[in-house]
Amino acid sequence: MELQKPAPFISADQIAVRVRELGEKITADYPNQKITVICILKGSVIFFSDLIRMIDRPIECEFMCLSSYGNQMQSSGEVKVTLDLKNPIEGKHVLVVEDIVDSGLTLHYTLNQLRLRRPASLRCASLLYKPQAVKPEIKSELVIDYVGFEIPSRFVVGYGLDYAENYRGLPFVGTLDNVEE
Ligand code: IMP
Ligand code: MG
């Protein structure tokens, strides 16, 4: 099957510059702490891998896989944890790394679940953020501490993000024709 070629939207160079900036900011924000960095699989895996190499602090890596019920393009808000963290996070400084915040439902749910485990602190980073897509009732509660890029409500792929499991390996973020949200 021929896959459509995504149109470049955020280049690999732009991403690299921004990820370095975020890493420097995170390094400065955690002066003396070890950070437990949680990769939300699968979409965040590339961003997570690049980001942790830009954080000049001791870190512990954890992985969590969530599946949200819904179709390929929209989550329903019901989130299931399909792979949980290996270790407890109680008393730890936790940074959750997401690929994209669209409706905000997934990150909102994840943060609420993790907060119940009583970390010493809980922050989050998202490479992409669609401010116009976030549900109003969530927007007032959801603080994204580190945002890579604010983008319009377009469907994007690449750098970890997929469309039906394709395109995750693209080194840049691109848009697809005829895939409007
Ligand atoms: P939410 O709507 O903020 O809960 O986003 C849920 C999930 O949908 C994200 O973690 C992504 O995996 C996926 N998603 C949302 N928008 C996009 C997009 O533009 N491209 C690819 N995946 C997306
Ligand atoms: Mg995701």
Q: What would the DSSP string read from start to end of 85-133?
A: -SS--TTSEEEEEEEEESSSHHHHHHHHHHHTT--SEEEEEEEEE-TTT
Which residue's CA is the nearest one to ligand 1's atom 11? 100
Active-site residue set: 102
Task: Determine if the pTM surpasses 0.85.
Answer: yes
Which residue's CA is the nearest one to ligand 1's atom 15? 102
CA 26 to chain centre: 15
Closest ligand by atom to 149 CA:
1
Q: Are 89 and 36 in contact (CB under 8 A)?
A: yes
Number of the ligand 1 atom closest to the C-alpha atom of 106: 4
Give the model confidence (pLDDT) of 127-165 as tens digits. 999 999 999 989 999 999 999 999 999 999 999 999 999
Give the model confidence (pLDDT) of 25-56 as tens digits. 999 999 989 999 999 999 999 999 999 999 99
Query: 96 CA to middle of ligand 2, Å?
Result: 11
Give the model confidence (pLDDT) of 154-163 as tens digits. 999 999 999 9
